[in-house]
Amino acid sequence: MAYFTQQLINAITLGAIYGLIAIGYTMVYGIIGMINFAHGEVFMIGAFISLIGFMICSMLGIGSAPVAILLVLLLAMAFSAVYGWSIERTAYRPLRGSFRLAPLISAIGVSIALQNYVQLAQGARPKPGGQIVSGGFNLFTDDGFDVRVTWLQIIIVVVTIVLMAGFTWLIARTSLGRQQRACEQDMKMASLLGVNVDRTISLTFVLGAALAAVAGMLFLMYYGVIDFFIGFLAGIKAFTAAVLGGIGSLPGAMLGGLLIGLIEVFWAGYFSSEYKDVAAFAILVLVLIFRPTGLLGKPEIEKV
């Protein structure tokens, strides 16, 4: 029981990070029907900006961890949002209205370019991030096994919940969210009603990138080490999460992230950690075979 609870806590932490990245995939897919394969790279850049941010904080002598985390959070979100906006503006918008595969290829190109850019600018070696938050407490002890929750895990889950709640509110309740959903359902009609579709698409990329940047920061704090290649695997996992939850569905992305976290951690915990990625992707294959629309996705309705 103790071992199970410990795995559960670890899984939720990991799932929160995947969920934050998955939102970016699912929203972009929802609005322009394209998989943004460069999204994992935005996550990686968010992690690097966070690393730089934490270093600046320590240089400025900001000792308080909550203040530093908040500052770095805002910094990473802002910079990554600019990246997200620029990627859409330069690599996808010129290809809108072109054949379906063109933006996909362009996305892969952007992904490779960003990886190489960070490799050149920051070096290829893994970068240690240092420990920003340490400590934790024992939840309970069972059969001599301590179930431990670290403060960091609590921070990760709380930040994720707050952001996801805020984000859901933004989409469900504000004019901005209504415009976003309207474009998702009928872009031409939205445009006729005076909604600026291009700006809405940019906004989608900006929001997705900002959430990915938060995931990057949390990843840096959790694992303590990052390199230029972390975006690839995390990106594919989050994409799997988005498909698992039903691509295009926001609650689906959050749920999918959580499930991928659970699958991965429990597989590693009970079977073998070498094959945890295989387990996550095997689930993707099964979902695609038996429920192609994902857990919360709606079946595609042919527009006549």
Partner 1 sequence: MSVATATPLIEVEHLTMRFGGLVAIDDVSFTARPREITAIIGPNGAGKTTVFNCITGFYKPTVGRLTLRGGRGEFLLERMLGHEIGQRAKVARTFQNIRLFPGMTVLENLLVAQHNKLMRASGWSILGLLGIARYRDAEKAAVELARSWLERIRLLADADRPAGELPYGAQRRLEIARAMCTEPELLCLDEPAAGLNPRESAELNELLVSIRDRDGIGVLLIEHDMSVVMNISDHIVVLDYGRKIAEGNPAAIKNDPAVIRAYLGTDDEAIDG
Task: Name the DSSP letter for residue 94.
Answer: G
Determine, following the binding rule CB under 8 A, whether residue 193 of this chain makes contact with partner 1.
yes
Strand boundaries in the chain, DSSP class E: 127-128, 136-142, 145-150, 225-226
CB 23 within 8 A of CB 211: yes
Question: What kind and span of H or E run contains 303?
Answer: none
Query: Taking the C-alpha atoms of 102, 104, 106 and 109 in order, what is their torsion angle to the nearest 10 degrees?
Result: -140
Q: Which is nearer to partner 1, 192 or 289 (CB)?
A: 192
Question: Judged by CB, which is closer to partner 1: 102, or 182?
Answer: 182
| Region of 194-202, 220-228, 231-239, 271-279 interacting with partner 1 (CB under 8 A) | 194-202
Other beta carbons within 10 Å of 33:
12
Handedness of CA 44, 45, 49, 51 (dihedral sign): positive
Query: Shortest approach of partner 1 to residue 133 CB, angstroms?
Result: 27
Q: Which tokens is 304 given?
A: 């006549």
| Site pattern 151..190 for partner 1 (x: CB under 8 A) | -------------------x---xxx-xx-xx--xx-xxx
- Encode 59-70: b = buried (16+ Cβ within 10 Å), e = exposed: eeeeeebeebbe
How many residues interact with partner 1 (rule CB under 8 A)? 21
- Decide if residue 225 touches partner 1 (CB under 8 A): no
Q: Does 196 bind partner 1 (CB under 8 A)?
A: yes
- Distance of closest approach, residue 198 Cβ to partner 1, in angstroms: 8
Note whether 251 binds partner 1 by CB under 8 A.
Answer: no
| 113 scored as a contact of partner 1 (CB under 8 A) | no
Interface ranges with partner 1 (CB under 8 A): 170, 174-176, 178-179, 181-182, 185-186, 188-197, 304
